[in-house]
Amino acid sequence: MKSLALTLLLAATLSSSAQTAPGVSSYKYFRVGAPADIHVQPRAGYALMGGGTDLDEAFRWLCGHAGGGDLLVLRAAGTADYNPYIQTLCHLNSVATLIIPDRAAASEAFVTTAITNASALFIAGGDQARYINFWSGTPVEAALRAAIKRGVPIGGTSAGLAVLGEYIYSAQNDKPNDKDLNSDEALADPFYRQVVIAPELVGIPVLRDVITDSHFDTRKREGRLLVFMARILASGKTKTIRGIGVDERTAVLVEGDGSAQVIGQGEADFLEATSKPEVCEQGMALTFEPIVFYPVRTGTGFDLKNWRTDETGATFSVRAGQISFKPSL
């Protein structure tokens, strides 16, 4: 049986590669498990993973929403190393990885068919600028949005988490030798070169008016998330902006109705603002207040639809680029 499965896997990989004309960059497709997709009834859900070492419980939750069908990992670069990891954790018909490295690949019929047939989707970490540059406005974006409307569950970690909200920190102006955008740079100048906000890619209803960030506590990203929120409010595109910052080895598991649970080793921070920033201009330090803040610990729930939790809230204020904090509402 193993030799037959390997033969089928190699045949699928070779046939998919052969669909692209010579000299044109193409997708790569790797699959383990059954060679053919099956029809199941998945259950909507959204696994917001904060990055770092992968969290087994979050993947089991995502697999549980797949209805025993076929989980597809999406990447713009990288390997198929998620396949054996997820296959070991979950009882699924198959696990596959689809690498979509350019806009030409994002227009291939095989690529959109693979997304359409998936019972669950997971967007890996990496560089979210590639996801925006390669997938936005292509059949891949259309297929992802259609999958969400059908109730297909989706998860993402790190860069994969960044592209799940309605607003996306896209990192599109990052240069090859740039370090990650840090909070001090963003707070000192909300229009700093690396602060680029892109519109949504996936279209998750309960993440409307939301921007996400990962590696939140480890990389001290509170300040830059506040800048993202300020920029969005200042643009006039919405009157309410919400942010979700997720620590490493932590996940927010969101059901289709917006009820969520935080799991893992850290916490998730939920922020909300409804007033435009007082100062949000190029070359000037940010002044922005108030921002309501709920730090939600592992094992605690959060209601995304009503933006409420049993945890005690707090407030952030930013004046001339300096953050102050009031511990309770």
291 within 8 A of 269, measured Cβ to Cβ: no
The pLDDT of residue 11 is above 50: no
Mean pLDDT, residues 37-63: 97
Mean pLDDT, residues 15-39: 72
Mean pLDDT, residues 265-289: 97
What pLDDT does residue 307 have? 96
52 within 8 A of 215, measured Cβ to Cβ: yes
Measured distance CA(220)–CA(262) in Å, rounded: 19
The pLDDT of residue 6 is above 50: no
Total residues found in the chain within this entry? 329
Letter for the amino acid at 266? G
What pLDDT does residue 18 have? 30
Residue whose structure tokens are 């800048």: 227
What pLDDT does residue 24 have? 57
What pLDDT does residue 328 have? 74
Q: Where is 39: in which H helix or E strand?
A: none
27 within 8 A of 105, measured Cβ to Cβ: yes
The pLDDT of residue 56 is above 90: yes
Rounded percentage of the chain residues whose pLDDT exceeds 70:
92
Measured distance CA(217)–CA(215) in Å, rounded: 6
Whole-number average pLDDT of the chain: 92
One DSSP character per residue, 95-123 reads EEEEE--STTGGG-HHHHHHHHH-SEEEE
298 within 8 A of 263, measured Cβ to Cβ: yes
Q: What is the pTM of this model?
A: 0.92
* 145-179 residue pLDDT tens: 999 999 999 999 999 999 999 999 999 999 898 99
